[in-house]
């Protein structure tokens, strides 16, 4: 049986000022771990993770408001940059940053849109920023109707700002998606569909959400064309 760490820590505090003091061997002691903020991180391929997701009907949309998912583009990883700018910096090329923002605020760049395969220029401004939008791969209203309303506020904010659930995409194409799931909307570019549904599965597995029967069947049909499709992993939720 591994021993409690508390007595040895007290000894260290009392003896640390003594001459010739040596640190004890800590290999036999249990160290505390940080509490989990969500479901255990899913592992394996996308098809395996899909098979493990609960299948239920959609809950009512009653009570859904964007504010239920916390601050828009919150700095959830506490690095000084909001999530929108971080995703732009991750997904664009030839990125130019606003001077004095420590390479945080993206002014311009070029996007190879995963949903269409087309090139889309990005220029920050009232009339142009919407040309490139940040999509919630699992739409927040969809998440609300498939289990997120049962999550606490902090976890919902994490879900809404997790890079796993965010992609920079062509604005009009994102508008056509709305809050559709895989049963009602898939990217026009067939070459991206496997990665897209794998990301949806990863988000739902990470945050303990479910899929509808139609959604599960649609995702399974896509994954038939890409056996072993990797399952993305969240860098935030633990």
Question: Taking the domains of the chain in order of start, what are their residue ranges?
Answer: 1-32, 39-223
- Residue 236: predicted pLDDT: 82
End-to-end CA distance of the chain: 27
pLDDT at 17 over 60: no
128 to 19, 91, 120, 123, 136: CA distances (angstroms): 67, 17, 11, 6, 20
- Rounded mean pLDDT of 206-216? 98
- As a whole number, mean pLDDT of residues 36-55 equals 79
Residue 51's nearest CA partner among 158, 205, 172 is 205
Q: What is the mean pLDDT of the chain?
A: 87
The better pLDDT of the pair 19, 13 is held by 19
- Give percent above pLDDT 90 in the chain: 78
Give percent above pLDDT 70 in the chain: 81
Average pLDDT of the residues in 102-123: 97
Q: Which residues pair with 119 in a beta bridge?
A: 112
Mean pLDDT of 159-168: 97
Answer whether residue 162 shows pLDDT above 50.
yes
Does 224 have pLDDT greater than 50?
yes
Q: Are 12 and 23 in contact (CB under 8 A)?
A: yes
Please state the pTM of the whole predicted model: 0.81
- The answer to whether the CB of 164 falls within 8 A of the CB of 13 is no
Local confidence band at 237 (pLDDT 50, 70, 90 cut-offs):
low
């Amino acid at each position: 049986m591994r021993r409690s760490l508390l007595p040895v820590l007290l000894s260290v505090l009392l003896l640390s000022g003594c001459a010739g003091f040596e640190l004890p061997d800590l290999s036999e002691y249990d160290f505390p771990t940080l509490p989990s903020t969500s479901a255990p991180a899913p592992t394996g391929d996308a098809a395996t993770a899909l098979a493990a997701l609960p299948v239920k009907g959609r809950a009512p949309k009653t009570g859904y408001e964007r504010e239920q998912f916390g601050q828009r583009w919150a700095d959830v990883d506490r690095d000084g940059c909001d999530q929108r700018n971080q995703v732009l910096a991750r997904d664009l090329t030839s990125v130019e940053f606003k001077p004095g923002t420590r390479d945080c605020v993206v002014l311009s760049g070029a996007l190879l849109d995963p949903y269409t395969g087309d090139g889309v220029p990005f220029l920050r401004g009232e009339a142009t920023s919407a040309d490139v939008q940040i999509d919630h791969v699992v739409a927040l209203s969809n998440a609300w109707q498939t289990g997120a309303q049962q999550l606490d506020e902090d976890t919902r904010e994490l879900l809404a700002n997790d890079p796993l659930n965010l992609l920079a995409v062509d604005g009009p194409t994102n508008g056509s998606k709305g809050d559709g799931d895989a049963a009602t909307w898939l990217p026009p570019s067939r070459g991206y569909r496997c990665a897209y549904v794998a990301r949806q599965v990863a988000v739902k597995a990470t945050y303990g959400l479910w899929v509808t029967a139609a959604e599960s069947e649609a995702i399974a049909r896509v994954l038939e064309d890409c056996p072993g499709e990797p399952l993305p992993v969240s860098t935030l939720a633990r």
